[in-house]
Structure 1
Amino acid sequence: MTDAPPRAELLLDQEVPDDLRRELVAALDALGAPPARVHRVLDHRGAADIPWIVLVSLPLQAFLSGLGAEAVKDAYEAFKGVVRRASRPSEPAPGTLGAACRDRPMVLRDQASGLDVVLEADLPAEAYDRLVGLDLAEFTVGPLHYDRAQGRWRSLLDEAAG
């Protein structure tokens, strides 16, 4: 039996428009991510469920390592723009569920370790710069968030566990 080639999995909220879905798939493809399968979440979940707008599951350490290459610099800039747009969907109608769910982050999930890296819409450029050099082996439990005050990616659960 042969191993199937790695694939990226994208799980999109119902609020993500098709043009943004296409743009996200193209941005990941341009960055050398494995081909992506795209799925949509069911829209009958409760308000306390899934707090993200897009979940991208892929071999994350290899993906992050590839982002540091000079050849993908333009593609990386495009990816950051897609993250910002995905995390801030178009203005929902007042009083709708969408109005309460604005500014939900995109999450990158490592298929090997299960670690989640939370990409908020307003991350500073330095967060993306540090993301490229991030060694996921340093963490055991996620999610990883960028700490602006300390200028680093961290897992509060790892730190709490000692």
Structure 2
Amino acid sequence: MADVPRTPVIVQLDAAVPPGEEAELREALAEAGFDVFAQDLPKVRGAENLDAIALLMIPLHAFLTTAGEHLAADAYAHFKSGIRRLLRRPAKDAAKPAPLIVQDTTTGLKIVMERDLPDEAYEALRTLDLTTFRSGPIDWDGGHKRWRSVVDEADGV
């Protein structure tokens, strides 16, 4: 039987993140069947980029489907733990710690993973329907307990 090609995932890390700090996240993604490549975030970023400690570029729907159907609960917990490990890094600007951005490589939508996301946000991410969004970034609204795009809401979408 021929090997099924593994989908690439890129994790770009801020230079302040020591090598290997993303290992837990890489392991969780590898368990889900992805080939993970770590790179440094570009030093010069355009206006379309958000300031982040890390940028994870992944076919998000495929990952969430895999996480929902094939991965055990502990593997998804491993993914959450890997993200939280990166987010716990001391912030360059303590007043505004940089988030981790998850970018869906299919739609280009960016999901902002803040340092203090509750477990319910991670659980809601597992069932997030990206087709309901036109623009990003998408962030967690703790008051309404849902993922949302402020841009879509401003445009009346």
The residue that corresponds to 1:145 in the other structure is 139
Retained in 2: the 8 A contact 1:88–1:104? no
The CA deviation string for residues 105-138 of structure 1, in whole angstroms up to 9 with x for no partner, is 1111111110011111211111111110101001
Query: For residues 111 and 53 of structure 2, what CA distance do their matches in structure 1 show?
Result: 13
1:51 equivalent to 2:51? Answer yes
Moved over 4 A (4+): 99-102
CA change 1:75–1:113 in 2 (3 A) is same
Query: Per residue, is there more helix in 1 or in 2?
Result: 1
If each structure's strand is expressed as a fraction of its own residues, which one has the higher value? 2
Normalised by the size of structure 2, how large is the TM-score?
0.84
State the superposition RMSD in angstroms.
2.3
Aligned equivalent of 1:130, options 99, 124, 128: 124
Q: Distance in 2 between matches of 1:119 and 1:33?
A: 22
Which ranges of structure 1 fall in alignment gaps of 5 or more residues? 93-97
1:85–1:50: structure 2 CA closer, same or farther, 3 Å change rule?
A: same
1:40-82: CA deviations, max 9, x gaps? Answer: 0245x48x97411111111111111222236431011121122
Q: Could you say if the C-alpha distance between residues 50 and 138 of structure 1 is closer, same or farther in structure 2, counting changes exceeding 3 Å?
A: closer
Structure 1 Cα separation of the partners of residues 50 and 152 of structure 2: 22
Residue 17 of structure 2: aligned partner: 16
Aligned length in residues: 150
Q: Secondary structure at the match of 1:35?
A: strand
Percent identity between the two aligned chains: 36
